[in-house]
Structure 1
Amino acid sequence: MLNFSPEIKRNFLIMVNAIKGLYIECDIPMAQLIINMNGALPQSQKFIIHVLDNTRIFVRSDMAGQIRSAIATFREQNTYEKPS
């Protein structure tokens, strides 16, 4: 029988959970757009894993295309064109 020190035994009890995701760093309005987009979805389709702070979000990596598309649409709707 192996006899481990209490410190080694304690380290065996620590479990690590790893989640594959996408780290997004953006300005506050874009972060709010992503958070609102997530909030409009049913619980089973939510994609935000963790909001780190006002400008950094960790999301499911399979949602990258949809987030990019929503941001592109948002930017097109909020683009100022100087009248001629």
Structure 2
Amino acid sequence: MGRDPRVFTNPDSYTPERWLPEHNPGASNLPDVYDIVFGFGRRICPGRFLADRIGFTFAVAVLKTYDILPLEGEELPREFPYQDAIAR
């Protein structure tokens, strides 16, 4: 699904910037990321909602368990802008 030459130009190359509107003017015409990951139609993944919840729970567990610190001699940025997106 992610390598359809009718949808993607140069589908076999790793180019994540194809999803960004500032690099690809046709990014709004690309299929939804959730459709590509979990399929669609009769073959849609029955565990897509569970996988979504487990991914969130895993991320929360990592944040709770580990101390995520900057490298020695570097400082954390003062602001962390929030963007609600899958791929950015």
TM range (shorter): under 0.3
TM-score, normalised to structure 1's length?
Answer: 0.25
More strand by share: 1
TM-score, L = length of structure 2: 0.24
* Structure of greater Rg: 1
